[in-house]
Amino acid sequence: MSRTPGRLRVAVAAPLSEENCALVQELEPRIDLVVDHSLLPPMRWPADFAGDPDWRRDPGRQRAYEAAIDSADALYGIPDVDPAALARAVRANPGLRWVHTMAAGGGGQVKAAGLTAEELGRVVFTTSAGVHGRPLAEFAVFGVLAGAKDLPRLTRQQRDREWTGRWTMGQVSRQTVLVLGLGGIGRAVATALHALGATVIGTSRRDTAVPDVPGVCAVVHPDRITEVAPTVDAVVNTLPGTDATEHLVGKRFFEALRPGACLVNVGRGSVVDETALADALDSGRVGFAALDVFEKEPLPGDSPLWDHERVLVSPHTAALDAAEDRLIAELFAANATRLLDGQDLLNRVNTVEFY
């Protein structure tokens, strides 16, 4: 699929350190990297692929950046993390065959590019799914534990210097947790919760047989989650944002949920109806919510979630890990090997539902 037989010309469209450039080429020597670090925005933290928002290319450097992209067989990253720039790149470069997105949920960016069916058929898109599994699983466990141990009450009493009588805390080892989605992140969450002794129910649209995931005792179709809601003590969302998952966790689900249940969201904000969540928190149907993602980001200043004492707001940072850049580089190199060897690529975007 490359223009030079047996080799792959890759334009680095997102920040990639010199160390990780060398790693990619070490892992797959048949890659020819096209990279000019002066054309890429400085990163403010690990995996900051959009870079400093105040940084700009002058017209000459923008032309050089686009020329590199237009010469490539594959792109490491969506140009400037911008769907419009992705559309331009696909249309300007008929030789482009593969684009790797930095996000686990990169399908949403591909959808936003508004590509035609022909363009979606010509270019393969992959995501960095799986790289974030362990960090997000740790946040999910943190959220479930915080709900079980009533972190808001502890925080409030400490702030008020209030020493009350003792009370019984929830035990995760005796809880049932519903994990929405059993992809890479969901499986990591299920495994981690199982290690704490929790009973885990998973969801799958394709297979309702118990999968090979430690601790998952049952699998239900997402359409049936309201049926199991009265039996669960906590819910962890790991689902991507698609038309099928939008507001899957909404008013009907919350009304069926066991009172005082915990909600953790490490998937996509659009899966949870935040208006219905706010009502469920006010009524006590949801006892605690640990949220790393939101319907609109940044979370608007007038959102009631900011001030609710039983909500933990995390600014979409739970997946961030110092090793993330290296792990994505390793994944990219592995997929490059697959591409060059004529094998199916890992984490290929479904260009019908865009996940």
First to last CA, the chain: 24
Q: Going edge to edge, which strands form the sheet with 286-291? A: 216-220, 199-203, 176-180, 234-237, 261-265, 286-291, 311-313
Of the residues 30, 194, 258, 316, which is catalytic? 316
Any catalytic annotation for residue 268? yes
Residue 299 makes CB contacts below 8 A (sequence gap 6+) with 305, 306, 313, 315
Burial tier of 114 (Cβ tally within 10 Å: 0-12, 13-18, 19+): exposed
Residue 142 makes CB contacts below 8 A (sequence gap 6+) with 290
Count CB atoms within 10 A of the CB of residue 47: 22
What is the token pair recorded at 77?
């990253």
Cα–Cα dist 52/41, whole Å: 6
Cα–Cα distances in angstroms (integers) from residue 266 to residues 56, 78, 104, 188, 269, in the given order: 32, 22, 11, 12, 8
Any catalytic annotation for residue 91? no
Task: Return phi, psi of residue 134, to 5°.
Answer: -70, -45
Sign of CA dihedral 47, 178, 207, 272: negative
Of the residues 132, 268, 285, 308, which is catalytic? 268
DSSP labels, 335-355: HHHHHHTTPPPTTB--TTTT-
Q: Is 191 helix (H, G, I), strand (E, B) or coil?
A: helix
Count CB atoms within 10 A of the CB of residue 218: 15
Burial tier of 128 (Cβ tally within 10 Å: 0-12, 13-18, 19+): buried
Residues acting as catalytic residues: 268, 297, 316
